[in-house]
A and B are shown apart, each in its own frame.
Chain A
Amino acid sequence: MKAYFFELVDFALGQLTGTEVLLLKFDGEASDFVRFNHGRVRQPLSVTQNHLALTLIQDQRQQCVTFSLTGNKATDCELLIQQLGVMRYQLPNLPIDPYLLYATDNCDSDQVRRGVLPTIDQAIGDIVDQAGRLDLVGILSSGPIYRGFANSLGQRNWHEVDAFLFDWSIYQVADKAIKMSYSGTHWDRSQLRSRIESARTQLPYLEKAAVSIGPGEYPAYLSAAAVNELLGLLNWSGFSAKEQHTQQSVLQALVNKERTLSPHITLRENTQLGLAPVFDSVGFVKPDRITLIDAGQHASSLISPRTAKEYGLQANGANESETTQSLELLPGMLDSANLLEQLDEGIYVSNLHYLNFSDRTACRMTGLTRFATFWVEQGEIVAPLNVMRFDDSLYRMLSSHLMGLTRETEWLLSSDTYGQRSVRSSRVPGALLSKLRLTL
């Protein structure tokens, strides 16, 4: 696919005239998806999709068109000429864009991570066989993911990764389940077996009759997956320089130094840890790390090229929406092996669900427990807990009420497949809270 993209790049650049500048972005994948329910196959499918985005720039004006490629060079070149023609016709009539900014440093990169992915026989056979009579539901996504960039100034970037993610849960009864995932670049049937076996051994915890508790404040342990949900919500404007400059960030009070988080909280965008490419859509190369929150204090923001130009800042490789792609919360000192003892009495939250803000100024979030959440007494699991709603401020949860973070962290690959398979990931620890406010 890399060769094909650069063939199209060469063809496109040959069509340019005068002072035209062209940016070309490539997004592609050849994915197998197998959806499961009740341990059997629901919908198996393959998707081959490749999209080329052209941004034509002249006289400080720009326009962008994205179109699907057929894979047939003659057809795709014809499409490309057609779209260049449309943009050329419209461009002189568009207003000048004062915030236009693109890379001119020509930083090339070429990153290819080869893997051993499951064949379609394995994709179905391995999972159905291992599931046996378990009520397993979920999806396997597998195949190569491609990202490319080039411009008429001579820059060339390519990113290709073979990856799979099997994201699943095993249900015991009603809404009580063990949620797990298995991701990587090399499919290993024995790894799959041991993970499903691990889930199977946890199922008895869900057999007991579920208990309900009333609204109030309870000590709580949030697993890495639950912490990841909290941090993921911060991507809704939290780290964005544009939102911070217009007083709309949910972390505005932190940015304005009116509030702080716990000194245990150091959060960074760590490009080195993830699957995401090192270049952005206009050719800027991302730094290895950007510290967003340092020991509880605001440190820096995610700055897209457009925001950089508008507010006189230095772009740092952030995407247009200024969201994290490879988020890392540094670990703490808590030992995961005796978490229940440290929790003593309270709730053990394996997953959170459907988070949103109930008060953006206070960074107050609401959401629900999901899958396996337990009531704990004297350091022992008593019973599964029925779904509870929390509604609490990050300035309490990860500040005054944070007792500590675990030493161990989990790398969590996003299961997001809206439009295309995501390459977003995070590495986070679990968190022990002295209080979590439950409201319903």
Chain B
Amino acid sequence: MTFEIDTILPRFRRLIPAVDECSLRIVAETAEFTAVRQDVAMPLMRVIDHGAMISIRDADGLGYAATSDLSDAGLRAALDRARDWARLSKQRSVLSDAIVKLPIAKGRYRSSTTKSFNWHMGDRIDVLMKESQACKIDARIVDWQASLTTQHIRSALMTADSLASGDYVLQETDITIPALHVTAYEGGVTQTRSWGGRDNGFCQQGGYDVLERAVFIGSGQLAAQEALQLLAAPNCPRGKFDLLLMPDQLMLQIHESIGHPLELDRILGDERNYAGTSFVTLDMFGSYQYGSPLLNVTYDPTQATELATFAYDDEGMQAQRQYIIQNGILLQPLGGMQSNRRAQQMGYVFDAVATSRACAWNRPPIDRMSNLNIEPGTATLAEMIASIEDGLLMKTNASWSIDDSRNKFQFGCEWGQRIRNGKLAEIVRNPNYRGISKTFWHSLVMVGNASTFEVMGTPYCGKGEPNQAIWVGHASPACKFTGIDVFGAER
């Protein structure tokens, strides 16, 4: 099911009530999930979801209503409901005078997919089956699964003002999420190795080209070999070490200890009952030294293959690349137009960032991090390893936890490797590290160059009330940190 924009436009135009602002956002999404577990194809699943979100603002009153009935009657009922909410919230809104006029949004976006998935489901199963069959290389391999999720999301945003000039935003996004994990077991020890992360990692915009960039073909046997290596490896040591983090771990480090604390709605308190608040306060922007001068972080909707690349956010603001942290100095929060206006009312002036997004047709937009990346530096991977006398390399996130102010964190990885005297040494299992966001990024001492840069992402960034899980991208080079608190498992 999709929507015909040419028929919706005139119908919505006719229904628009006399209010200060009225917008319609329609989303039609198709997702297909294919998996092979232990060489047996799992049931194929397809989800076809569509619906519309009406938003109305009248003075400082705001109201939303979502419906999957796109008929005139369905839209009219949603408009009435949103208008009721706007009326009831007038004079009781947290927005007070911080109201914002939505832009006249017009534009198009389409994922730059180079190889579309037009395969028969059987073809998808064949690819996954080959990887699955390559996993069982040893009796100690006890479980394994390869899966492929593809999503096509088509969304349109039209406001009363944009319709007056015949314009709207239409965006089409193709997402591909390949995943594979292998579990080995022996003598009370279980180890799992995945391809880029069990639930995250090599997810990008695109089609079959994502599998090529992720080097997914051949991943089954490699992951199985590495799971067995982990099984035989010693426990990760405890102590303070130099730490070399690879992009498939750094993506979560960026996500949790830069992305979330800089979301403006968290700083403004909206998330305090659920996702949490932030150690960052409004007065820090423009002057606070967030990390070492090597730290450069961008909001970058221009990385063509990254998961949250788009042309317009769900408030209709045009997206463009912006520095969030430059030479370690905190410059910008991650806040859309509405949050930005609220901060302005409190006396803090920033540029808005086009990152106010909704995860689906049935949720309103909130501040997200979208594509948030660490910019490459100058060091090669070999130079970074050579610079470490006694340390560890860690890759692939396996565990994540951080406090509600996004300060005290602890991460675990699937894969650890000692570095001694400038050379990679033995593999270690169950590597963990912990720290404090406020100080951790100051320990950044080397940033990898473009040859170490990888585009990663997660489809499961959760926040918001009602809850919203959305796709975000994180690209990063490998990075070296010094004096990090590292530890392993109990045995």
Name A's B-contacting residues (CB within 8 A): 31, 33, 35-38, 40-51, 55, 62-72, 75, 79, 83, 86, 90, 93-95, 97-100, 120-121, 124-125, 128, 135, 137-139, 141, 167-169, 171, 174-175, 177, 179, 246-248, 252-253, 256, 258, 353-362, 364, 366-368, 370, 387, 389, 391, 393, 415-419, 421, 439-440
The stretch among B38-46, B157-165, B172-180, B293-301 that forms the contact with chain A is B38-46
Most A-side CB within 10 Å, residue of B92, B273, B490: B273
Most A-side CB within 10 Å, residue of B96, B430, B468: B430
Residues of B contacting A125 in the complex (Cβ-Cβ under 8 angstroms) = 88
B122:A46 contact, CB within 8 angstroms: no
Residues of B contacting A41 in the complex (Cβ-Cβ under 8 angstroms) = 62, 88-89, 92-94
* Residue on B nearest A393 in the bound complex, by CB: B490
Partner of A417, one of B41, B69, B143, B467: B467
A95:B125 contact, CB within 8 angstroms: yes
Interface size on B, residues (CB 8 A): 83
Name B's A-contacting residues (CB within 8 A): 1, 40-41, 43-51, 62-71, 74, 78, 81-82, 84-85, 88-89, 92-96, 120-122, 125, 142-143, 183, 185, 188-190, 192, 268-270, 272-274, 276-277, 360, 362, 364, 399-405, 407-408, 410, 412, 430, 432, 434, 436, 462, 465-469, 488-491
A64:B45 contact, CB within 8 angstroms: yes
11 more A-B residue pairs beyond the given contacts A66-B46, A70-B74, A389-B401, with a C-beta to C-beta distance below 8 A = A49-B51, A62-B43, A66-B47, A72-B71, A93-B120, A246-B143, A247-B143, A354-B401, A354-B403, A356-B410, A389-B403
* Residue on B nearest A364 in the bound complex, by CB: B490
Given contacts A94-B121, A354-B401, A387-B408, contact A68 B49 (CB under 8 A): yes
The distance in angstroms between the C-alpha atoms of A366 and B491, with both chains bound, is 17
Cβ-closest 9 pairs across A and B: A45-B64, A246-B143, A417-B466, A139-B465, A359-B489, A247-B185, A44-B85, A138-B273, A67-B48
Nearest-CB distance from A1 to chain B (Å)? 13
A364:B401 contact, CB within 8 angstroms: no
A95:B268 contact, CB within 8 angstroms: no
Residues of B contacting A258 in the complex (Cβ-Cβ under 8 angstroms) = 188
The distance in angstroms between the C-alpha atoms of A278 and B358, with both chains bound, is 33
Residues of A contacting B40 in the complex (Cβ-Cβ under 8 angstroms) = 95, 97-99
The distance in angstroms between the C-alpha atoms of A177 and B70, with both chains bound, is 42
* Residue on B nearest A253 in the bound complex, by CB: B188
Partner of A51, one of B41, B49, B125: B49
Residues of B contacting A175 in the complex (Cβ-Cβ under 8 angstroms) = 272, 276-277, 404-405
* Residue on B nearest A391 in the bound complex, by CB: B410
Q: List 11 A-B contacts (CB under 8 A).
A: A44-B85, A64-B45, A124-B89, A141-B466, A167-B274, A177-B272, A252-B190, A362-B490, A364-B490, A416-B467, A418-B462
B412:A44 contact, CB within 8 angstroms: no
A44:B432 contact, CB within 8 angstroms: no
Residues of A contacting B467 in the complex (Cβ-Cβ under 8 angstroms) = 416-418
Given contacts A70-B74, A417-B465, contact A43 B64 (CB under 8 A): yes
Most A-side CB within 10 Å, residue of B66, B189, B404, B466: B466
* Residue on B nearest A71 in the bound complex, by CB: B69
A97:B43 contact, CB within 8 angstroms: yes
The distance in angstroms between the C-alpha atoms of A357 and B411, with both chains bound, is 10
Given contacts A48-B66, A120-B85, contact A65 B404 (CB under 8 A): no
